Structure 1
Amino acid sequence: MTPTTAGISIIVGLCLLLGTGMPIAFALGLAAITGLFLDMGPDVIYVITETMFAGIANLAYVAIPMFVLMGAIVAGTPAGGDLYKALDRWLYKVPGGLVLSNIGACAIFSGMTGSSPATCAAIGKMGIPEMTKRGYPNTVATGSIAAGGTLGILIPPSVTMIVYGISTQTSIGRLFLAGVLPGIMLTAMFMAWALFDARRKGFRFKVGSLSYSLKEKLATLPRVLPLLLIITGMLFVLYGGVATPSEAAGAGALLTLVVVVLVYRLFRIRDFTGIFGSAMRESVMIMMIMASAELFAFALSSLYITQSLAATIASLQISPWALMAIINVFLLVAGMFLPPVAIIVMAAPLLFPIITQAGFDPYWFAVVLTINMEIGLITPPVGLNLFVLNSIAPDVPTKDILWGALPYVLVMLFAIVLLCIFPQIVTILPELVMGPAI
């Protein structure tokens, strides 16, 4: 079997398995095992467990469940609601202010979780009912949160940046810094579109019951500021070289837990069973996908599929920007079918030498790749954020969620173009803080 035939067979088999509704981790693993069995025979049994375990046996991956736990603590307690209320009270007079509050809450919540589904679920549970109650159309209510939730994998700390850093042997601290300005830029672009859309559709809410005094605005800050200080402190120790990502994530999760317990007086065990159960489920799901994706990548390599593809791409007589356009199309299509973690584990080691040989900065590429993955989170058929919103707002038709998210897809595509024209948006902060990349 030639590498081309083997590659087509495995990809088609994977698509068929995903089409049955099989969990992504199992589909990746089964497709990989089938391909390896055809190549190695029964001896494949000796490499499955070792390869999968080696794929996740990295101390740096400890940061992932810790960041997930941080998000679960905030989402599963009144802390998330207070964060949302604080933004709403300060922005309620702005046309479309509630949409801006949702996007802003998503951006801040992203700094506590590093996870898009967690961000989308936490803010969506509070934001969608509130917006529909105030007369916002379903498309506006769900689209803004679907898009805002994607910021969870760009704004540091980011789970996907951790996976990219480990897969490509690049600095996770530098990757986090690289995502700061693009994350702020994309948040501002989302807000700009939301404000324009609100003015265009005439959303000017001046309901008397929504008037807040300065005292009421300030009342929410004492509960929100400790969480913001934890994020700031965590990022400071990361960028200052005081702690590793795993250490910072562990300390951040512990401090968040302590703050939530003391501020909201949550002293009963049953208050935390749901929090730790939710964090465990999401962490296990992510790690299973990563282990299966590692096995899938090993299968592609063993069958010389990745080597053949790399050689084909390298032999193309095209400009670096044409090559980057092809890679972006590949990432966009892959993002429609696979979660970001799986794509990064499989594709980053393959694409890394290609983009560096073409003269592109690997940290800049990490941000471009992440925005592509963000687009995949809100595009069918496997847009994870769409399914999250569908589960928390079952009364909203799926087509309304899709139409609401579409403008934000275009905004993200425009953001990629801006980063291609002005790569300094990504590179300037890492160079200022950590010096030029070696």
Structure 2
Amino acid sequence: MDPLTLGLLVALVTVVVLFSGTSVAVGLLIVSAFFLLVFDGTRSLQMLPEVYFADLNSFAILSIPMFIIMGASIASTRAGGDLFEAIERWMTRVPGGLVVSNLGACALFSAMSGSSPATCAAIGKMGIPEMRRRGYSDEVAAGSIAAGGTLGILIPPSVTMIVYGIATETSIGRLFLAGILPGVLLVGLFMAWTIFSTWRSGAINLLSPRTYSLRERLEVLPRVVPFLVVIAGVLYAMYGGIATPSETAAVGALLCLLMAIIIYRMWQPTALWAVLRDSTRESVMILFIMAAAGVFAYMMSSLFITQSIAEWISQLDVNRWVLMGVINVFLLVAGFFLPPVAVILMTAPILLPILTAAQFDPYWFAVILTINLEIGLITPPVGLNLYVINSIAPEISLKTILKGSMPYVLCMVAAIVILCFVPQIATWLPDVVMGPAI
């Protein structure tokens, strides 16, 4: 069978298997083993265990569970609520300031946790009831938190960026730096839309009923600032050449766990066990998908599907921006149905050589890919953040949450367009800090 035709058949079978309810990792393993057995015989199956474990045999992978523990220890405390309260006290007299405060809290908590669901849950538990109590609509209250939570996979330290770096063999430090300014851009677009929509709707008088003194504004900061200092220290250690990402992640995880114990008195064995249990569960899930995706990539390469697709795309006589537009649509659709980690592991190794040949920067593309996957987090049918918001505010329907998040989806699309016209937003900081990529 022609490799391109076989590739189309693999894609159709993969979609059917994943939609059957099978987990992503198990589904990829089933599809890989089936096609290798049918088209390459039993000899290729003997390589699967070696391929499976070879993809996990990397020191860089240690950073994944460490950053997850780092985020879980923060998410298990009241740090999210304190962060929201601290920012809200400073933004109390700004029109739409409560929503802006929530978005700012989401951005900072994303930097501390690196997790979109954790950000939604931590900030939403306090932010949504408070916004509704102040008179903001359910759409604004739920949609803003759902969108703000997506920043967790873009703003460093991001587990998604680590997975991309491992899958494409690119620098994790450069990827983290590449996500900072685009993350600030997205936060700015979110806040600008919030202020504009508040003014347009005539809800400009939805202000806090009280004014906080300077002492009240400062008193909550000691509980939050230490976590932000640890994040800044982790990033400085990486970019200052002091330690590798894995080493800094391990130190950061230990420090965040100790601060959760000291500042929030989380020394009960049950609380510590919950952090380690949840971190282990999420880490195993991600590593399982990574290993299965490695087997899937091996199958695609062994049957010459990957090479044929790359050759076919490279021979297309189209403008490179048309090519980028097609890839963006593909990533957007893939993000509707698959979690970010799965999309990255299945597509990045195939797309990166094509994009490099078209003279696109791989670190800039990592940001474009991530923003596409952020959109998938707040759009059905998967839309993980929609379900997280619905679980903490069950009285708000999924339809209402989705409707409230749509303006922020347009902000993300606008960010992608801006990055296409000004790619230096993603590439300037890595080049300044680490030098031009070779």
Which residue of structure 2 lines up, in the alignment, with residue 361 of structure 1? 361
TM-aligned CA deviation for residue 127 of structure 1: 2.0
Normalising by structure 2, what TM-score?
0.95
Aligned partners of 2:12, 2:388: CA distance in 1, in Å? Answer: 27
Instruction: Note if 1:243 corresponds to 2:243.
Output: yes
Paired residue for 1:110? 110
Number of aligned positions between the proteins = 437
Cα offsets for 1:125-174 (capped at 9, x unmatched): 33222222322222111211111111111111111211121222221111
Show the counterpart of 1:49: 49
The 5-angstrom pairing of residues 28-427 of structure 1 reads: 28-43=28-43, 45-203=45-203, 204-208=205-209, 210-427=210-427
Q: Percent identity?
A: 57
Kept in 2, the 8 Å contact 1:99–1:141? The answer is yes
| Residue pair 1:71, 1:109 contacting (<8 A) in 2 also | no
Deviation at 1:223, TM superposition (A): 0.9
**Which shifted more, 235-244 or 274-283?**
274-283
Matching residue's letter, 1:286 = I
Does the Cα contact within 8 Å between 2:36 and 2:45 map onto a contact in 1? no
Equivalent position of 1:17 in the other structure? 17
What is the Cα deviation at residue 26 of structure 1?
Answer: 2.2
Q: Distance in 2 between matches of 1:25 and 1:349?
A: 17
Between the aligned partners of 1:124 and 1:31, the Cα distance in structure 2 is: 38
C-alpha displacement at 1:50, in angstroms? 2.2
Segment drifting more, 281-290 vs 5-14: 5-14
Q: How has the CA–CA distance of structure 1 residues 35 and 129 changed in structure 2, closer, same or farther, with 3 Å as cutoff?
A: farther
CA distance in structure 2 between the aligned counterparts of 1:64 and 1:11, rounded to whole angstroms: 28
Q: TM-score, normalised by structure 1?
A: 0.95
For residue 243 of structure 1, report the CA deviation from its aligned partner: 1.0
Answer whether contact 1:153 1:161 (CA < 8 A) is retained.
Answer: yes
Contact map agreement 2:96 2:207 (CA 8 A) in 1: no
Distance apart, 1:256 and its partner CA: 1.0
Letter in 2 for 1:66: M
Contact 1:93 1:205 in 2 (8 A): no
Alignment deviations for residues 277-314 of structure 1 (CA, whole Å, 9 cap, x no partner): 22122212211222222222222222222111111100
Q: 1:42 to 1:127 in 2, by over 3 A?
A: farther
List structure 1 runs of 4+ shifted beyond 3 angstroms: 40-45
Contact 2:115 2:153 in 1 (8 A): yes
Tell me the equivalent position of 2:3: 3
Say which is worse superposed, 49-58 or 235-244, in terms of deviation. 49-58
CA RMSD of the aligned region, Å? 1.7
- Once structures 1 and 2 are overlaid, which stretch shifts more, 268-277 or 154-163? 268-277
CA contact (8 A) 2:53 2:291 kept: yes
- Is 1:234–1:248's contact at 8 Å kept on the other side of the alignment? yes
Q: 1:352 to 1:206 in 2, by over 3 A?
A: closer
Shift of 1:43: 4.2
- Following TM superposition, by how much is the alpha carbon of 1:395 offset from its aligned partner in structure 2, in angstroms? 2.1
Q: Which runs of 5+ in 1 are unaligned?
A: none
Q: Judging changes above 3 Å, is the alpha-carbon distance between structure 1 residues 143 and 290 closer, same or farther for their aligned structure 2 residues?
A: same
